[in-house]
């Protein structure tokens, strides 16, 4: 089980206080208790540049991307690709977040501060990684995310070979389904890539309304 945390010193906005924008507030810090409290409020961090200063932005998308666990789409080509790989959990978090935070990736947002903060959460048992390996024992894809009770908030994923990140998603979904209970697999925003896997969009209000129920679910990891 994750290590208990102190209460956060920050007050995140309530749904009524949130602006009609995906970005809901700025500031605070990346301490473990701050981060976990943000997820409980339906909020997550992502830095942004404001003039010459890099700020911590806190986001709660108006249209949230989630993957219903019983609606994942596994195409015949993906099933074929999955046979090329084997998958592990929590075996090489550092390599996974480095893969996700590769400077060569467009629109990269995983900076040094994010890596340090989520490594702390990993050590405390709140962050988990999925590693995808090829037959040469090379890490070719994966994902990581934050787990708070029945909420798994996917943060980022990467792939170096075809369908490696999709394979990570399939194995994660199976892990969450096997654990049972009410769960949300949150992917932040629906993209064409994620839509092809079965990701749907729900309103911010609907997403936040689901959180209290999943907070009573035992973590899957």
Does residue 3 form part of some domain? no
Total tally of structural domains belonging to the chain: 1
Does residue 72 form part of some domain? yes
Does residue 12 form part of some domain? no
Pairwise CA distance, residues 165 & 196, whole Å: 13
What is the distance of C-alpha 9 from the center of its chain?
23
- Helix%, strand%, coil% for the chain, nearest 5: 30, 30, 40
Mean pLDDT, each 10-residue run in order, the chain (221 residues): 97 97 98 98 94 92 98 97 98 98 74 97 98 98 98 98 98 98 98 96 98 97 97
pLDDT (0 to 100) of residue 54: 86
Pairwise CA distance, residues 174 & 155, whole Å: 18
pLDDT (0 to 100) of residue 106: 58
pLDDT (0 to 100) of residue 92: 98
Q: How many CB atoms lie within 10 A of CB 66?
A: 23
Cβ atoms of 164 and 85 within 8 Å: the answer is yes
- Determine whether 19 is exposed, middle or buried from the number of CB atoms within 10 Å of its CB (0-12, 13-18, 19+): exposed
Does residue 159 form part of some domain? yes
Cβ atoms of 35 and 121 within 8 Å: the answer is yes
Q: How many CB atoms lie within 10 A of CB 169?
A: 26
Does residue 19 form part of some domain? no
Does residue 115 form part of some domain? yes
Q: Which domain holds residue 206?
A: 63-214
Does residue 44 form part of some domain? no
Does residue 193 form part of some domain? yes
Confidence (pTM): 0.96
Give me the CATH number covering residue 150. 3.40.630.70
DSSP assigned state of 12? P
Pairwise CA distance, residues 90 & 119, whole Å: 12
pLDDT (0 to 100) of residue 105: 62
Pairwise CA distance, residues 34 & 11, whole Å: 9
């Amino acid at each position: 089980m994750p290590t208990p945390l102190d209460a956060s010193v920050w007050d995140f906005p309530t749904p009524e206080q949130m602006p009609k924008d995906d970005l809901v507030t700025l500031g605070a810090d990346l301490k473990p208790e701050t981060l976990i409290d943000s997820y409980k409020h339906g909020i997550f961090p992502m830095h942004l540049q404001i003039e010459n200063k890099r700020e911590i932005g806190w986001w709660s998308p108006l249209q949230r991307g989630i993957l219903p666990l019983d609606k994942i789409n596994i195409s015949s080509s993906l099933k074929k690709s999955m046979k090329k790989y084997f998958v592990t959990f929590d075996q090489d978090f550092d390599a996974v977040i480095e893969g996700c935070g590769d400077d060569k990736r467009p629109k990269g947002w995983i900076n040094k501060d994010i890596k340090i903060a989520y490594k702390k959460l990993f050590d405390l048992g709140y962050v988990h990684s999925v590693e995808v390996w090829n037959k040469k024992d090379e890490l070719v894809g994966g994902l990581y995310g934050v787990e708070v009770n029945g909420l798994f908030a996917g943060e980022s994923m990467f792939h170096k070979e075809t369908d490696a990140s999709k394979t990570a998603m399939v194995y994660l979904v199976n892990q969450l389904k096997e654990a049972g209970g009410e769960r949300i697999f949150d992917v932040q925003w629906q993209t064409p890539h994620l839509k092809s896997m079965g990701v749907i969009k729900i309103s911010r209000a609907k997403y936040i309304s689901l959180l209290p129920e999943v907070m009573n679910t035992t973590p899957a990891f």
